A and B are shown apart, each in its own frame.
Chain A
Amino acid sequence: MAPATPFNASEITEKARRDLLLLLEGIRGKKNLVLEKALAGPLNLLVKFSTLQEYGVDKPFFLENDNVDASQRNVVFLVRGEKANMVMKVADQIKRIRRESEIEHEFSIFWVPRRTIVSDQLLEDAGVLGEASVSEWPLFFVPLADDVLSLELDDAVSDLYLRKDPTSIYLAAKALMLQQRKHGLFPRIMGKGDNGKRLADLLIRMRTEVAAGEPSSNTGPSFLGLAPSTTIDSLIIIDREVDFPTVLLTQLTYEGLIDEVFNISANQTEVDSSVIGGVAPQPGQTGSASTRMKRKIMIDSKDTLYSDLGDANFAIVGSLLNKVARRLQSSTERNSLAAKTTSELRDFVARLPGYQAEQASLKLHTSLAEEIIKNTRTDTFTRCLEVQQNLTSGADPSTQHDLITELIDRGTPLPTILRLLCLESTTNAGIRPKDLDAFKRAIIQAFGPQHLLTLQSLEKMNLLTPRGGATLAGGTGSSVKPGSVTNYTPLRKTLRLWDDEVNEASPNDISYTFSGYAPLSVRIVQSIIHKHSLANTIKPPTPGAPLSSNPLAQGLRMFEDSSKYIRGATFNEVQTGNVSQKALKARQMLSGHGEGGKTVVVFFLGGVTRAEIAALRWVGRKLAESGGEGRGSRVVIAATNVLTGDGLVDGAIEKGVFKA
């Protein structure tokens, strides 16, 4: 038996698609589809609209617009069921249609990913539960790329850290559980952070729950005998709260910058059509270009050119584009000149569509890159970067205050300012109370009194705190206090978070993604799966010594040493299931899987940035190259959502204004 590769993106897509189409098939005849805006992106990734049409969908509507018409008898709602106000909106619309329409409607609701007791109660109170047929669409992970899975819970960050709502932890546990059911238990669950710990506990708890439910409902393969997976090496859970600075920094990879400047959602970004004006509509490149001014562009790794560019540091994107342009030109020219015989000519013509697609994609990315350069050349951008680099390399934060104040005075957008202040606060365990009050005053005066609330929210999220209120982790204190914050001063050295001689063209360390700063979150992962190389980067070995002789790389020492400076719980659970070690070994031998070729799953609770994804891919590539070093060789990244710094602070920003 050759088990399928775990966390297989196409398999997950296929299943989600099938589930949805089956549900749609269950409703006879044509139907109008009402969906929650946040679901439109993921849906678009999974199913083509034309497919939906084949299944009888007449017109799509957004739930938020409240404009469903009565053109079809069947009305289908596709809504996330976890949020009470979404449920209320569904109830309101059902009532509205019932009131206004002449014909009798059939309502169906597909809750994503599950039907909740609370939603039933709310619908019942509204008096509409009886007339809707309710089912669930178990959509958890949405594959964004072959190695990136996201739950696409856009407000996971504000839910988790501002409102302290653990729904996303629960959903994450469910999603991971589904994978365990298919591919076996994670042999090891490691991680960092309090919410991460909660997730690990939930996973273990759910295992016993499933086991308890087993015999009474004898369906499906037995879960009781489920052994540790032979294809998965481990699950590493990183709580976002462990490492906020990485999110706050401006990402410097190409994909990261696209996200910073244009904002990517569900692999799509909207760009002003003037930017890519000359580009004719190409298959696969433009989505439905329905909007007047903005144009939707697919950003994904299926585009070969983009798969090279996306993870590269932006500084070298120019030369990469140049190289591709040259190669493209020479290959078309030489071929047309050399194509003398008919067979050669035929060969060339056959390859022509490929060239054309590449050319179009080249054109697109050149104009995108140009637009980004316009942004990175501005004074504000360079000044922000200066502050960021000084703060991360460990300069005295008070030297940066004049620059930040100047940026405020010059009317820099609020999110940018907040990111800088939060960065200072999170890397230095708070800001001196006197300075903090001055900044708060400046922000309120510059952006309006309503941001009193914004500042309060940021403090609740532990992003912007007065010093003294937040205690550092590790150090002299024997025990790590709960709620302590990550102490960057020792970490900068022990994990080499700052790298002066960073090489952007041919990176030799993950620090290339931020031109010097190595994301702490990825360093933690490295200290588990890639520890020999990491140890050698931190403390260069004596020449001639074998790769694995570095004392830092013994066991989990590096992980444990550094994790005491990092906030939150550290955990390391081994799941053995009910199978003895011996049987396990035998099973491993049988299935022919040795140490190599296993999957390491890295789960980011509370979001992951694109620069971190790039860094992890880099680690994954190195692992595959060095073969067998550390553990596992395929790295799959899973997260509650993909995040940028603006997205992080945006959860806190108060949108209301005083009006006459």
Chain B
Amino acid sequence: LAGKPGVSFEEIARAAYDEGRIRLATSLLDHEPRAGKQVPLLLSMKEDTIALDKAIESGDTDLIFHVLLHLRKKLPLASFFRVINSRPVATALVESSARDQDTDLLKDLYYQDDRRLDGSALLISSALVQPSLSQSLDKLKLASKYLSDSRDPPAVFTRSAVDEAQRLLQMQTQFDKDLANARDIPNQSTAGTSLIGLSTNDTIFNLIKLGHQKRAQKVVNEFRVPDKTYTWIRLRALVAARLWV
């Protein structure tokens, strides 16, 4: 029967399923080329993983999502992860949709999978959306801790960068506090100069522009900014402040 066009294996399989012969129905469905018909039936037959595989084969992301949503509701989280883990397309789709909506799910996924870098990235991006700085810092601390057992070079690099980010934010807060009391310096044309959130270089830039050479130097030393970089920043900042030295 296979190879003959126009035979709807879906109908035959459905009949077999209605008769209670599930095994037969599944093997019959293998011959059905239209995934759009195959997948829903497989789902109703509770052949979930086969349904997922068929959906992935079809390339139709809508069908894949459909099966995934179904599985997510039905299975306990751990076994849901086990199902999708062996299938990269499914994992990717779960990840990308969860990124917008359900970060807790992602956290669990990365944890079970031991994907520390991705997990820490998640914490960093949640640090970026925190409403207050102290909460952001907490998230960064978590991210750093999350990476602390790992000895991989990328993890080590990320960790040091996260730690540096925390130090920078703390310094910026300190400067903001200091400078609020010392507003009587000349050349402070820019109003509302909060330093928080700026990059290292921009912090130095703004400090020089406002005439706080010492504080700028402190940032340079703290973060080991290369001499060349510092010279360029200084030059640009002094020009911006119209201090022709």
Contacts and interface: CB of A to CB of B under 8 A. Distances in A.
B5 A445 contact: no
Q: Tell me the interface secondary structure of chain B in the complex.
A: helix
Interface in B160-216: 161-162, 164-165, 168-169, 173, 176, 194, 196-202
Interface string A73-107: 00000000010110000000000000000000000
Contacts of A444: 161, 164-165, 199-200
Interface stretch (A114-122, A247-255, A277-285, A579-587): A114-122
Contacts of B125: 453, 654, 656
B100 interface: yes
A165 B5 contact: no
Contact of B61 (A166, A198, A406, A409): A166
B66 A117 contact: yes
Contacts of B32: 212
A658 B197 contact: yes
A205 interface: yes
Contacts of B229: 405, 408-409, 442, 445-446
Contacts of A202: 59
Nearest to A167: B61
A118 B197 contact: no
Contact of B162 (A121, A410, A452): A452
A211 B6 CA distance: 7
A141 B201 CA distance: 45
B217 interface: no
Given A85-B100, A211-B5, A447 B232 contact: no
A117 B60 CA distance: 11
A594 interface: no
B164 A205 contact: no
A433 interface: yes
A410 B136 contact: no
Contacts of A48: none
A498 B65 CA distance: 45
Contacts of B232: 406, 409-411
A416 to B, nearest CB: 16
A374 B61 CA distance: 46
A408 B233 CA distance: 10
B194 A660 contact: yes
Interface stretch (B12-20, B22-30, B78-86, B127-135): B127-135
B223 A445 contact: yes
Interface residues of B, number: 63
Contacts of B129: 656
A448 interface: yes
B148 interface: no
Contacts of B100: 84-85
Interface stretch (A213-221, A258-266, A354-362, A377-385): A213-221
A164 interface: yes
Contacts of B128: 450, 654, 656-658
Given A215-B6, A216-B8, A449-B164, 15 more contacts: A85-B100, A164-B89, A165-B93, A165-B96, A167-B61, A212-B32, A212-B33, A212-B34, A409-B201, A411-B201, A444-B165, A447-B199, A453-B125, A654-B125, A657-B197
Please give me the 9 A-B residue pairs with the lowest Cβ-Cβ distance, nearest first: A215-B6, A656-B128, A449-B165, A164-B92, A409-B232, A448-B199, A163-B96, A445-B200, A116-B62
Interface of B: 5-6, 8, 32-36, 57-63, 65-66, 69, 88-89, 92-93, 95-97, 99-101, 117, 121, 124-125, 127-129, 133, 136, 153, 157-158, 161-162, 164-165, 168-169, 173, 176, 194, 196-202, 223, 225, 228-229, 232-233, 236
11 contacts: A164-B92, A164-B96, A169-B59, A170-B60, A209-B36, A215-B6, A411-B232, A440-B157, A452-B165, A654-B125, A659-B196
